[in-house]
Chains A and B, each alone.
Chain A
Amino acid sequence: QKEVEQDPGPLSVPEGAIVSLNCTYSNSAFQYFMWYRQYSRKGPELLMYTYSSGNKEDGRFTAQVDKSSKYISLFIRDSQPSDSATYLCAMSTGRRALTFGSGTRLQVQP
């Protein structure tokens, strides 16, 4: 079993929809939770960064962490075609290395 599980998709939604992306994990030592966006043939770009449990909002993006359930989510409101990319969750115990999920491919249809 992988430490971080993420549905690979693809997830196809119409423009303007609310998108929900999720990851589950097994390592209770994870304290830092990140979401990265990766466009084709590009490196991952940090979208959201959360320490421990709770919610964080940044524009159209909201990240949620539920450590009791070992479950994290990323919500995208008013999705745009430019949001079409692969979304990677990542986690860390604070000892430098990040553990990534396999990524969910999102397609927003105009």
Chain B
Amino acid sequence: DAGVTQSPTHLIKTRGQQVTLRCSPKSGHDTVSWYQQALGQGPQFIFQYYEEEERQRGNFPDRFSGHQFPNYSSELNVNALLLGDSALYLCASSSTGDNEKLFFGSGTQLSVL
């Protein structure tokens, strides 16, 4: 049973560029959440998708957007990259009614130069 898979594992971009990160949830899960983890910090909630709609959003600007597809996979898009966007981006999946039990992928390490 595959867990949460994320791609790519590492990414290097320059300021002002745009990036797309991808996530496939654990089998049987229908809800996908995205978190940003800066070095030495805990993950910060970006947003959550369920039934292809954004259900909740954390304190992140509109430069951060997402999408969920009919097969429950998800994308995170970040526009106009800033140096401060450098972080580990984590995707987590859960099932309806058990949303606090998150299963995380290994993340995408984004470096903005």
> A residues bordering B, Cβ < 8 Å?
4, 6, 8, 32, 34, 36, 41-46, 49, 88, 90, 92, 94-103
Contact = CB atoms under 8 A, between A and B. Distances in A.
Contacts of B55: 96
Contact of A97 (B42, B56, B101, B105): B56
Given A43-B4, A102-B41, A103-B42, A96 B56 contact: yes
B53 to A, nearest CB: 13
Chain B contact-residue range equals: 20 to 34
Interface of B: 4, 33, 40-45, 48, 55-56, 58, 90, 92, 99-107, 109
A46 B99 CA distance: 13
Given A34-B101, A96-B56, 4 more contacts: A43-B104, A49-B100, A97-B58, A100-B42
Contacts of A36: 104
A102 B45 contact: no
Contacts of A32: 100
25 contacts: A32-B100, A34-B100, A34-B101, A41-B109, A42-B107, A43-B92, A43-B105, A43-B107, A44-B43, A49-B100, A88-B42, A92-B99, A94-B100, A96-B48, A96-B56, A97-B33, A97-B45, A97-B48, A98-B102, A99-B45, A100-B42, A100-B44, A101-B42, A102-B41, A102-B42
A96 B90 contact: no
A43 B42 CA distance: 11
Contacts of B101: 34, 46, 49
Contacts of A88: 42-43
Contacts of B100: 32, 34, 49, 92, 94, 98
B43 A100 contact: yes
B104 A44 contact: yes
